């Protein structure tokens, strides 16, 4: 895992077309702004896990 330190207003860029900017830091919470093409799905990890879990029965039925 790559670990980077950024301050408010600073950004990182992934694959030239995804930019993540630190908007605010308040205690233990960090607000991020993400600019990405519409073709790139952006989800919070816990929501992606719920989406995958919700689709799991459908995947099993198709495979069987």
Under 8 Å between Cβ of 51 and 43: yes
What is the reported pTM? Answer: 0.75
Q: Where are the domains of the chain?
A: 11-63
Q: Which residue has the tokens 């495979």?
A: 63
R_g of the chain, CA atoms, integer Å? 16
pLDDT of residue 61: 46
**If the chain, 64 residues long, is cut into consecutive pieces of 10 residues, what is the mean pLDDT of each piece?**
98 97 98 97 90 68 46
pLDDT in tens, 26-42: 999 999 999 999 999 99
The helix/strand count (H/E) of the chain reads as 1, 3
Q: Is the dihedral angle over the CA atoms 52, 4, 24, 37 positive or is it negative?
A: negative
């Amino acid at each position: 895992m790559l670990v980077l330190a950024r301050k408010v207003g600073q950004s990182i860029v992934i694959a030239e077309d995804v930019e993540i900017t630190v908007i605010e830091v308040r205690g233990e919470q960090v607000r991020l702004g993400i600019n990405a093409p519409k073709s790139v799905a952006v989800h919070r990890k816990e929501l992606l896990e719920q989406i995958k879990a919700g689709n799991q029965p459908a995947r099993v039925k198709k495979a069987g």
